[in-house]
Amino acid sequence: MSRERWSREKFGATLRKTGQSSYHHQHPFHIAMNSGRLDRRAIRTWVANRFYYQANIPIKDAAILSNCPLREVRRRWLHRVIDHDGAEGDEGGIGAWLRLGEACGISRKRLLGHDDVLPGVRFAVDAYVNFARTQPWPVAVASSLTELFAPDLMAKRLEAFKQFYPWVKASGLEYFARRLVQAPRDSSEGLQLTLDHCNTPELQQAAVRALKFKCDLLWSMLDAIHTKTQAPE
């Protein structure tokens, strides 16, 4: 990569190109999911393993907050923890995913105990939390920019569940509907912070690597899930 600082426009374009070429919407598991080719075992395996990721998102975001010395940035980022952990009267995104699990026939106790989490998924998610704890906060923020590409995937997923997986109760699809609203807001916020605060050639390049790392991490999670669901029971 160039050692010169990119313009804001080129930096933004480089981030988008990196994400578009690596995002996990192209993974065979997602393609199979969105075309209705998964059985109940595969859906439940995905839900249970993805919950481990969902449960760690607010921990990751709290790690970013702990590394950020800028009050105005912390105030902007704090809502992400609340969005997932919830507040009084609202269980947040984690609660919505628990309801998805119940709609698929997985108990809350089993999900919260992470009884079905695959080693590859656990390793990937733990690596993401560790990344947020150890990297400069603007670089950790950049890793969240997979949200730029999430709304399209989320919309397809919501329609796929309604069309192909009617055995999943409609009450369990709330999380997907929530993220159709939250992801565009969050990605715009994250992109703005990345463009503003990754303001040296080194930080810009680290931001691009962080986004690629996150894309690879999400892909690796699906690799583990896909391998498990392809194997005979």
Instruction: Encode the chain (233 residues) as per-residue pLDDT tens digits.
Output: 457 999 999 999 999 999 999 999 999 999 999 999 999 999 999 999 999 999 999 999 999 999 999 999 999 999 999 999 999 888 999 999 999 999 999 999 999 999 999 999 999 999 999 999 999 999 999 999 999 998 888 899 999 999 999 999 998 999 999 888 988 999 999 999 999 999 999 999 999 999 999 999 999 999 999 999 998 87
Q: Name the nearest CA neighbour of 50 among 96, 115, 117, 145.
A: 117
Q: Are 121 and 224 in contact (CB under 8 A)?
A: yes
Q: Name the nearest CA neighbour of 76 among 124, 121, 22, 137.
A: 137
Structure tokens at 207: 């931001």
Q: How many CB atoms lie within 10 A of CB 37?
A: 12
Q: For residue 58, what are the β-bridge partners?
A: none
* pLDDT value for 151: 85
Distance CA 16, CA 39 (A): 33
Determine the angle formed by the axes of helices 150-164 and 174-197, rounding to 10 degrees: 170
* pLDDT value for 231: 87
Structure tokens at 58: 């607010």
Query: Which domains does the chain show, CATH number per domain?
Result: 8-230 (1.20.910.10)
